[in-house]
Structure 1
Amino acid sequence: MNQRHLEHATHMTSAPPHLRGRYRRDPAMRIASAIGKVWFPLWGTFTQVRIPDPADPITTLRVVGREVVAHDNNVVALTMAAPDGGELTPWYAGAHLDLLLPSGRMREYSLCGDPADRHRYRIAVRRIPDGGGGSIEVHDTLAVGSIVRIKGPRNAFPLAAPGHGSPAKKLRFIAGGIGITPILPMLSAAHRLGLDWSMVYTGRDTGTLPFLEELTDYDDKVTIRTDDRHGLPSAADLLGPMDAGTAVYCCGPPPMLDAIRTELLGRDDVELHFERFSPPPVENGRPFTVTLASTGQQIPVSATESALAAIRRELPSVPYSCQQGFCGTCKVRVQDGTVDHRDNILTAPERDAGVMLTCVSRAAGDHLRLDL
């Protein structure tokens, strides 16, 4: 039951006279009034409706397998299971989870195992020496037997298969390097369902491409194209013949995704689904200033960068993960200024309370003062 706390229209400043005139103020009413002054505020506090915290629960897992899955030795696959061997939350092709690292960093990784396996999750992580440190921590500290914590799984890149939720007639998968991870379970699903599908897998050279051995089961449905042998591919090379009724699923570096999107402009008869592993470009941005409430420091944010990127130059420890506006890790409260919200996860009450995601949202004016 919802309760609304409304101020009464009349106010009784003192107790009424005794009914039979024996006392100037009725003793029983004076006692009741005193109790009421304490009771009703307390009752309102205890019964007021509160908005629940939408954060995902945290699950503790153990690393039960670790395997190098690229010939350049820079990609490791980690298999995780519940410490008691119990079943894990079900997931479907395209899903990812948040890995909570011992340092306090949180990073998102696509699940690349078998969705039918209810006892294990598998992720793959490429070592990025000049990144934010998350991949290095995974490579250097997470061995078999390590305890890790996760949130999720969640799915922002679901597969809608022809005849099973999609009007498409055929599927085209495109993966660039580590972008193979969300695509792998999709290939397995398409293969099991007997769908009409094909894939092109691209990268600098075969040494940088993880999971090549697992793709041999699909024979000529998968084309491997590397820059050292074929040169940089065009969008047309990656897409191949685009018949009407084709659904395209792609994951890889931003230039590849942008080229594919441009190539398919105006093709209303083709579905395009994609996932980024890096921040999207800022569109229609304008410069503004962020003030850190804790120090008063003012940080300029250019028209082409996110508030998060600008803040991290001065405050590298600020938490972040997806950089795309759907994980909520960079959530912060705005003390002053108006927000141009560009995320898809904050609720109306959160926005009304002054919450924003610094990775995608911006100032609607020329400044924001943040609780940092």
Structure 2
Amino acid sequence: MCSNTPFATLSPTKVQQLRTGRIAKNIFSVQGLDSAILKIALPSKPVYLGHLGLPDDEHAFHTHGGPDKALMHYAAGHYDKWRKELPGSVSLLTYGAFGENLLTDPADGYNEQTVCIGDIFAIGNNGAQIQVTQPRQPCYKLNHRLEVKDMAMRSQTECRTGWHNRVLVPGFITPGDSMQLIERKHPDWPIRRVQRYLYDERHNMEIMRGLMEMEALAEETRGIFRKRVQKGEYRNEDMRLIGDDNAALKWNTYRLAGKIKETDAVSSFIFEAVDKFENPVQALPGAHIRVKLGPKSGNLVRAYSVVEGDSNGFRLGIVHDARSRGGSKFLHENLELGEELVFSNMASDFPLVDGTLCDEHIFLSGGIGITAFFTSAKLLKEQGRSVALYYAVKRAADVGFKDILQTLEDKVKLCVSEKGSKINIANILNNANDRTHIYVCGPDRLLDAVKETARTIGFPQSNIHSEAFVISTGGDPFTVQIESQCKELQVREGETLLDVLREAGFDIPSNCEVGNCGTCRVGVKQGRVQHRGTGLLGDDKKSMMLSCVSRGVDTLALDL
């Protein structure tokens, strides 16, 4: 339970950061989940703080903003505690992770126990004043942001939620400004004490009657107490803390039940759910799944194609790649039978074209790229559709997944280089028509060859669908323009947009940095993007890009 003894006063502090965010659609790759929780630190120059907060700070949900929630303050000192308690989310627990607008000195002692309802603070030398209005009530988007299933509930239980402020006197403020308590109206009502009656002692009518009359307390919180006292209505908090079936964070624990060596470099990993689902979901065509590899891996997060299975148990095919950034190396060398890992729900971002638009499906794969196509090819064969699966390897010894290949029978075309057999791309495309769709997964040279051949013979590029199994971060140089900051930046051949933005002073959050998680997404206002990685849904790619792996063509205008 939260303690409620405040300090007598608070010493002056300094504004560490000011942060704002734009609404991102389908955030965290959840269809229909919109949020502005990913906030960017503003540069050290004056910014106007108005009655509705900082400019360009958006809110996806109508109750998340307004005069009583103009500025959300989070205690910077909480971050060290969270990092110790949640080692699996350390890379995400950077300033801004809780969607705050204001951070002050982490050593200032400002927190839910020492800050009181009605406290008035002066910021800077231009007359700006803010007043504390209510505790922040954390919602399920924190679960997604920090990839912890019960993060909103943890934040609430530990009374590390942050708090909202109204703006009494607007004015210009700047990161680095002094901030000082100038009036304390309710010294007996620290934030934690209000939380006690919001969440723990929910039936103390005498206390709640007093709180509903406290003018400094935000109307939203007063309304909660008013409904309890006057109508006996108590809000079900599950929707706020967990979300509905679509929005709830769905990470589940699986145990490694089997490891099968397919080739010298490739193994199948069989995982079984620790808690079985009553109605398991089958792996759809193009299914992939994200996995947290845990503290022993350095808290890596990776995504892999699902070879076969359902939500109760599935098979992954993973190559032990010398170019790996640690994920496949960890799985092959360190993960033992019986050990457990946490996986997301399966998602499909490489689906089949609708059957009404396609008469023939042709899959071209190189090496481990075959794993992206097994679920699709098996489904099409079962449906009696026209399908061909080309599987290119260097040596006969490199052919894996022979049990699945046998079930596909004559739908599989093996192409083994050492035997003089290669995928004849020109022949395949010359025999295709406008209702043939080509799916490619393999090294860049395979996709490049398919696209170049298609251009040469006039095969429609719109009928070619691709996914790279090795995410390259380099490429041709390009320029980015950030109109809001009047900046133009150059991204050189071997650089990532993420690194360039950070070097320019933009605080861009990230996690996996290999295109899987979507945390580093940035808005694109104008220009063409070479999308890489799996961290964005289809519609997101119209206005967003992954700054860790995707690249621009010539010039991009970014929306930061």
* TM-score strictly above 0.5: yes
**2:371 & 2:421 partners in 1: Cα distance?**
23
1:65 to 246, 251, 258: 258
Amino acid at match of 1:249: Y
C-alpha deviation, 1:113, in angstroms: 0.8
1:236 to 415, 426, 449: 426
1:88-127 equivalent positions in 2, closer than 5 A: 88-102=280-294, 103=297, 104-114=299-309, 117-127=310-320
C-alpha deviation, 1:91, in angstroms: 3.1
1:158 to 2:348 alignment: no
Q: Which runs of 5+ in 1 are unaligned?
A: 12-31, 289-298, 313-317
1:41-80 equivalent positions in 2, closer than 5 A: 43=221, 56-70=249-263, 72=264, 74-80=265-271
Does the CA contact (< 8 Å) of 2:437 and 2:463 recur in 1?
yes
Between 183-192 and 219-228, report the one with greater CA deviation: 219-228
Does the CA contact (< 8 Å) of 1:199 and 1:221 recur in 2?
yes
Partner of 1:39 in structure 2?
Answer: 217
1:262 to 452, 455, 466: 452
- Pick closer, same or farther for the CA change 1:259–1:83 going to 2, 3 Å: same
C-alpha deviation, 1:64, in angstroms: 1.4
Partner of 1:246 in structure 2?
Answer: 436
C-alpha deviation, 1:360, in angstroms: 2.5
Does the CA contact (< 8 Å) of 1:172 and 1:239 recur in 2?
no
- Pick closer, same or farther for the CA change 1:365–1:92 going to 2, 3 Å: closer
**2:402 & 2:538 partners in 1: Cα distance?**
39
Partner of 1:28 in structure 2?
Answer: none
Partner of 2:13 in structure 1?
Answer: none
C-alpha deviation, 1:187, in angstroms: 1.5
Q: TM-score, normalised by structure 1?
A: 0.68
Partner of 1:212 in structure 2?
Answer: 402
**1:224 & 1:98 partners in 2: Cα distance?**
29
**1:365 & 1:195 partners in 2: Cα distance?**
43
1:5 to 63, 66, 80: 66
Amino acid at match of 1:64: A
**2:528 & 2:419 partners in 1: Cα distance?**
44
Q: Which runs of 5+ in 2 are unaligned?
A: 1-60, 69-168, 170-209, 226-239, 482-488, 503-509
1:126-145 equivalent positions in 2, closer than 5 A: 126-145=319-338
Amino acid at match of 1:5: G
**2:248 & 2:311 partners in 1: Cα distance?**
23
Partner of 1:193 in structure 2?
Answer: 383
Does the CA contact (< 8 Å) of 1:285 and 1:304 recur in 2?
no
**1:345 & 1:244 partners in 2: Cα distance?**
26
1:180 to 362, 370, 378: 370
Does the CA contact (< 8 Å) of 2:311 and 2:346 recur in 1?
no
Does the CA contact (< 8 Å) of 1:202 and 1:225 recur in 2?
yes
- Pick closer, same or farther for the CA change 1:300–1:105 going to 2, 3 Å: farther
**1:346 & 1:259 partners in 2: Cα distance?**
24
User: What is the aligned length?
Assistant: 313
Identity of aligned pairs, percent? 22
- Pick closer, same or farther for the CA change 1:130–1:40 going to 2, 3 Å: closer
Q: TM-score, normalised by structure 2?
A: 0.47
Partner of 2:471 in structure 1?
Answer: 279
SS of alignment partner, residue 279 of structure 1? coil
